[in-house]
Amino acid sequence: MCVAVPVQIVAILPDDMLRGRVGGGSTELHLSSLLLSEPVAAGDYVIMHAGFALHKVSPTEVEESLALFRSLAGTPSIR
């Protein structure tokens, strides 16, 4: 199963790379901006999958996605 996650852009790096923060925590990662159709700035949110920023999203969409992920994480798996 593949999951795309919301990431907040922390910094714009050289060579089409971005540094982002996941879930409002302290975990930071590098991702490529090559697939983005519009420019982003520090503070913006994007959806990331497999190391690529796919598209920009609003803070409201981010909160909804994170609430859903948190809800799923608290749900016991059914077998």
Whole-number pLDDT of residue 62: 83
Residues in the chain, pLDDT under 70: 1-2, 75-79
29 lies in some domain: no
> Is residue 5 situated within a structural domain?
yes
Looking at residue 32, what is its pLDDT?
Answer: 97
Q: Are strands 5-13 and 17-22 parallel, antiparallel or unpaired?
A: antiparallel
Residue tagged 């796919």 (tokens) = 54
Say if pTM beats, i.e. exceeds, 0.85.
no
Sign of CA dihedral 57, 12, 16, 19: negative
Decide if 75 is inside a domain: yes
Domain around 62? 1-23+54-79
* Counted domains in the chain: 1
Within a domain: residue 61? yes
Domain membership flag for residue 2: yes
